Structure 1
Amino acid sequence: MKLGYHIGYWSSGPPEGALDAIRAAEELGFDSVWTAEGYGSDALTPLAWWGAATSRVKLGTNIIQMSARTPTATAMAAMTLDHLSGGRFILGLGASGPQVVEGWYGQPYPRPLVRTREYVEIVRRVVARREPVTFDGEQYQLPLKDGTGLGKPLKSTVHPLRPEIPIYLAAEGPKNVALAAEICDGWLPLFFSPKSDAFYREALAEGFARPGARHTQADFEVAASVPVIVHDDVETAAGFIKPSLALYIGGMGAKQVNFHKDVFARLGYADVAEKVQELYLAGRKDEATAAIPTSLVEDTSLIGPPEKIRAELGAWEETVVTTLLLRGDAGTLRRVAEVLS
């Protein structure tokens, strides 16, 4: 199983020590480094800035918000970064949810699966650069149908470094996971658990079986963000993760549409997820955090003393996951890499 480093979101500014951690990741033999965006810092600028200090490690976005850019703008950025990195770029995309898509980007949210399918297809056509790009879809039209009538099909002025750039899709629901298997080169799960492996294998298998699918399970990448905390006390380690879980389960999404909450409900924590959401939306964030059992953290993380983590790692190695994406400073990455090696 490969290791990757996920820088994560910014808060008041760039994560402290990010460049040192990226250099440590490359020094330690990590396979990839990833940036994120939501409605603050963007994913592309930091990847180019910090990625310039690397020479081997792959550089990916986890994720680019599709509603933030047109498909052609994303394809332009992907080709640019692929050239600058010498062919090391991975384009990670995600549909996000209605709160962000409509509230921040001012774009309609309905039919995200259709939007994703069309988006990926346009990106691939731009990068392939075989002919001027035209597309007549439900969500996207090139040239625009109801404009001035002066639009014309265009082909990128930049020749791609590679005719195809790997595209990974962030997905949580079974339909979106199946779509990732059908049209993409990898899947970016957020709250994966070995206990949910069979559920996701089935969703992936559905996508692989569709006509025109690009991959099989054997050559499909699954890069999962997995908290790993090496600590002698399991409860203390879990305490570092619970506030973030409370945020995602309780506050990252509307009450009636929260895909993160649904993941934990499928994992067997439906009652917990309901309680956490109720407390969080009522402004009782500390109580929401306290309502998360340590077992939930252990199901989706690797925490505790080194021997416990090593013993549990075997279950992860039997799953569809091909890469564990870690977070933390340079010292944390070195410590975790030693435990996982």
Structure 2
Amino acid sequence: MKATAEELDAMRRYGLTLPIETVPLSAYRELVTELPDLGFTDVWSGEAGHADGFTPLALATAFAPSLRIGTAIVPVQTRGPALLAMTAATMANAAPAGFVLGVGSSGPMFVERINGIPFEQPFDRVRDMVRFLRRALDGQVVAGDFGTFSIERFQVSLPPRQVPVMVAALRPRMLRLAVREADGAIINFLSPADVKQVVATIGADGDGKELVARLFVCPTTDADYARELGRRIMTGVITSPNYAAFHEWLGRGELLAPAQAAMAAGDHRGALSAVPDQVIDDLLIHGSPGQCQDQVRAYVEAGVTTPVLSVQPAPEYGTGLHGMRQAVRALAPEPTRTRGS
């Protein structure tokens, strides 16, 4: 049954992505402490070269203990199984409102080229890590061969309360893994119409499972600025092999083929200019704050249970702490309940 506008405005979860690249970690207290009053329920972080996936969350739960925290995502290759389980257990024990461990395969650029770790059997590694983590985080003694790694004997010494494990997924095989063996899926770089395709692919296995979507949002009415920003953020990602296959599956293969060819030829500038406005408008939420909120609502209508905003700098607000706080306030689910600046 389709939800009413009032029900969607009272959606159960509404998240913010940290870090915000233009705001230093040392200034986060001012931003984070007001998030619950604005209607935010979650803070999520990840690893893409700017910060590790856990430190911003540790700060967030210390500054605003009522916020649930989660990773979206940390790679399964760059930490050993026991270290990842220990880190997750530590975060969960430190977070009064709960911690969600989102994991994924990442890609050769992050795993191999800058971390020097072979990028091998990504699907199998995710599957095996999920199976290990679910047992380890449940406090079990874990031993045995998991396929892509073996564990002699491991047990979390201080088992946390329940830690949901979620999987970043793009195409059908990983999406089905996320809902069959984990607690849900994490998705990004897609439109509300694409979410419907994802939900249809998951099918009944997704009933009762969480679907987290990281949504890039630029609250500006300057469409040219937003599209230029979107190209800078997205071109390198959506032309990479994994995301190229994802968007081929979603039906954007022909639209993105020129940009992918330019990137493969080493022509980064040509790739930027070859991404059509239509693609940026599909993948980047932009417009007035009210228009942006309407677009977020469209994702929820399509099946997202937890929208997580990645707020981008807009000329109307500026890039510093004060400006980004104003932008976050403008995009909040309950924007009339803000405190003074």
TM-score grouping bracket, smaller chain normalisation: 0.7 to 0.9
Indicate conservation of the 8 Å contact 1:9/1:35, yes or no: no
The answer to whether residue 78 in structure 2 is matched with residue 68 in structure 1 is yes
1:245-280 CA-to-partner distances (Å, cap 9, x unmatched) read: 112123xx4xxxx11222333333223322212333
The 5 A counterparts of 1:1-341 are 1=11, 2-8=13-19, 14=24, 17-39=27-49, 41-130=51-140, 132-143=141-152, 153-158=153-158, 160-162=159-161, 164-205=162-203, 208=205, 216-217=206-207, 219-250=208-239, 253=240, 258-306=241-289, 308-309=291-292, 312-328=295-311, 329-337=324-332
Q: What one-letter code is carried by the residue in structure 1 that aligns with 2:203?
A: A
CA RMSD of aligned residues (A): 2.7
Indicate conservation of the 8 Å contact 1:122/1:135, yes or no: no
Indicate conservation of the 8 Å contact 1:25/1:330, yes or no: no
Indicate conservation of the 8 Å contact 2:39/2:332, yes or no: no
Residue range with higher mean Cα deviation, 118-127 or 284-293? 284-293
- Paired with 1:313 and 1:108, the residues of 2 have a C-alpha distance of 37
1:66-123 CA-to-partner distances (Å, cap 9, x unmatched) read: 1111121111111111111125211111111233333344444333222212111211
Distance 1:102 1:270, change over 3 A: same
Distance 1:197 1:40, change over 3 A: closer
- Paired with 2:286 and 2:63, the residues of 1 have a C-alpha distance of 31
Distance 1:140 1:247, change over 3 A: same
Secondary structure in structure 2 of the residue aligned to 1:180: helix
- Paired with 1:66 and 1:261, the residues of 2 have a C-alpha distance of 21
TM-score using structure 2 length = 0.82
- Paired with 2:49 and 2:33, the residues of 1 have a C-alpha distance of 27
Distance 1:333 1:81, change over 3 A: same
Indicate conservation of the 8 Å contact 2:46/2:72, yes or no: yes
TM-score using structure 1 length = 0.82
Secondary structure in structure 2 of the residue aligned to 1:30: coil
- Paired with 1:53 and 1:188, the residues of 2 have a C-alpha distance of 25
Distance 1:262 1:8, change over 3 A: farther
1:287-334 CA-to-partner distances (Å, cap 9, x unmatched) read: 322222222122223222355445545532321211221123221111
Distance 1:125 1:310, change over 3 A: closer
Distance 1:338 1:59, change over 3 A: closer
Q: What one-letter code is carried by the residue in structure 1 that aligns with 2:288?
A: P
- Paired with 2:295 and 2:55, the residues of 1 have a C-alpha distance of 36
Distance 1:110 1:29, change over 3 A: same
Indicate conservation of the 8 Å contact 1:9/1:36, yes or no: no
Distance 1:294 1:339, change over 3 A: farther
Secondary structure in structure 1 of the residue aligned to 2:251: helix
Shift of 1:25: 2.5
The alignment of Structure 1 onto Structure 2 pairs a total of residues equal to 313
Q: Which runs of 5+ in 1 are unaligned?
A: 144-152, 209-215
- Paired with 2:47 and 2:85, the residues of 1 have a C-alpha distance of 17
Indicate conservation of the 8 Å contact 1:4/1:25, yes or no: no
Secondary structure in structure 1 of the residue aligned to 2:256: helix
Q: What one-letter code is carried by the residue in structure 2 that aligns with 1:85?
A: A
1:170-216 CA-to-partner distances (Å, cap 9, x unmatched) read: 1112111111011111211011212223421233127x1xxxxxxx4
Shift of 1:4: 0.6
Q: What one-letter code is carried by the residue in structure 2 that aligns with 1:304?
A: G
Distance 1:205 1:327, change over 3 A: same
- Paired with 2:118 and 2:198, the residues of 1 have a C-alpha distance of 28
- Paired with 1:242 and 1:198, the residues of 2 have a C-alpha distance of 24
Indicate conservation of the 8 Å contact 1:235/1:294, yes or no: no
- Paired with 2:128 and 2:47, the residues of 1 have a C-alpha distance of 21
